[in-house]
Each structure stands twice: as structure tokens, then as C-alpha cells.
Chain A
């Protein structure tokens, strides 16, 4: 992969390249549309970089292979789409409970059930409110372009290692399949990986390490949970990411992430052409959700239109931030439906 500075690449492959740039040398995955290009790309790139590629017997086995690689201190990633991500939830809960870093990529597709292979954002709750068992959170980053598919995946490994916690990249079928020019330059490299004395590498020269999430003694598990919550407070403080576009004087703010965020951005410009003061609030970290920034915008008479490719999930977090239901309305397409600019415009205009 010549490090020319601009290449034309699909979102799926850009995501894989971000992992390679992060020094990730362990991939375990399973075929599922619409993320198959990612698995194929990693099979090529891992061979080229001397990394490990395993096409596992199931998404279930894949997340547990990532668990094993992470236990051994390696940077590891698994990618799938909605139904496959459901199969990984127990493994993700174990990663959180064992305080292990890992990156999990969900290229969302229509659900529930087998659904379809069209794009969707209906796994928001699963990703941000914790799809597995127990009081845990994954950091959830939502790209809205092939560039962000690469950069956020690379960043995800630094966050995962820094906090010893699983990180989810939440893309969708459009982001995965579309092709865009992507900038690759010197900063497209991960920070130096820190040593992991806790990892299982064979107890030469030290006491044996033990990594497990079964904590039976009285109060032991509660202590772990308290420790996890402290970690989550730190992540909230340091890792919240968002994009605000023309929100300074906006009377109508469209809140949307990922593909919906991109469509909404185009609507903001078209509304501005019609002399309507519109703005875009695009969370990039879905967990930690940027409540503070949104709350600040929600003080005056500004109205909010939440746009999602679902029946409304992030809208609940927007309501939590704005604390005034009259000001927050929702427009969504689901089951693989994609909100068009016209539909969003019509809804936005009806709010005036």
C-alpha cells in the first residue's frame, strides 16, 4: 500500500486500513453483507503485514478469538454487521468485565431479524446502551465518511488501549460500500503502543497474571463495577467528539450522525439558501454522547430535528440533553429506508 497521500477506497477498506495503521495485527471475522469487503481486505493486508487473519466459524468465535489476542496484549479487531454484532454481545461484555482493549466494527444493516442488506442506524441502543449483560459501556464512534472510517478506526485502538476498554465503530451499509478519496499522511500512524504488563505472555520474570471476569468474593464485583464507572467518567471527560456546523445562530438544529449527518448537512445549506437559520449537530462519539454541548445549544428558542435511519433511538439522548420535548422532533426512515434531503427539508420547514 503505497503511502500516496490521496487514494480512492471504499469505507469498508478504509476502516481496515485504519486498523493496519494503528498497528493492529490480529483480525478475526465472518462473512456478512454489507461488510464483506472489510473481511476480504484484512485477509490481504494481514498477510502483507505479517499479521494474523482468521475467518472464524462464527461471529461468536471471532469475538472470542479477539478476546484471546487482546488477553495476550495484541491490538485486535473484529468486524461484522448487525445480526453478527448481536452474536458478539456476550464476548463484548467479557471484554468490558476483564478490562480488555479491542475494536469491534458494526456496518449496520436493516433489522430486526435477518432484515436486509440496506443501510440502517437501528443498532444505536445496542451499541450505546450496552447490548450485552452488566453495567458496562463501550466507547462508540460514528464515522460519516470514508476518511473518518479510517481515522476513527485508527483512533479507536489508542482509546481502547488507553482505557483498557472495548471500542465500537458504528458505520452503516452506505458508509461501508461507498467509495471516496481518502487522505493518507504522516499523522496516519498510531501513537506508539504502550507496554501491557497485565497481558498474558508467560510469567517469566514476574508473578503469573490472571485475567478473568468471574468475581465471586463478597463485594469484589461491585468494586470492579465502581472502577469501571470511574473509567467511564474519564472517557466522558476526554473522548467526547462532535461536529457543529453553523449552529452558532441556528434557529433549527438538525441532530444526526453518520450517513444521516451527511444528508442533514446538505439540508442545512439548502435551508440557509432559503434564509432559514439552520445548523447541524453531529455527534461523532455516540458514547460518550455530547450532552453538554447540546444542552448549551438548547437554551434559547432553538428547535431540534433529530434525523435517523431508525424509528428513533438517538432522539432519546437528544431529549435528555435538551430537557424540553416541545423543542425536539424526529424524522426517521427505517428497515433500510434512507431519508432524502427533500423529506428532511419538508419536515424542517414544518417546524417553523
Chain B
């Protein structure tokens, strides 16, 4: 069962990962990181993460690690 880990402090809130996650498992976080940015969170809803790594591939700041 695949999963991802997001480095919240390096995230700049560009939302590109959110835009490419076909199962919509990445959401904009309500909390702010230390630099006052609404970063993203990995939220497993009904659908499961397939470990496709699209989010990690498009992330400009190497914030996402993927396990499969």
C-alpha cells in the first residue's frame, strides 16, 4: 500500500502536486509552516495512493518522498 511523505517546511505552496494527483489525495493544509505558507497535506480519503509519484516528479522543491 503506497504512501508519500511531504516536507512541510520546504513546501512553498505552489499546489502543483495537488493538481496532478489523480486520486485527489493531496489537499491544501489549513495550518501554516514556519515560513507562513499554506503547504500541502497527504489525506488518504476513500481512494488509495497508488505510488505513481506524479506529485513528487512535478514538485519543484523535492519535498515529497514516495513509498510503494
Q: Do chains A and B touch in the complex (CB under 8 A)?
A: no
- State the B residues within 8 Å of A (CB): none
- State the A residues within 8 Å of B (CB): none
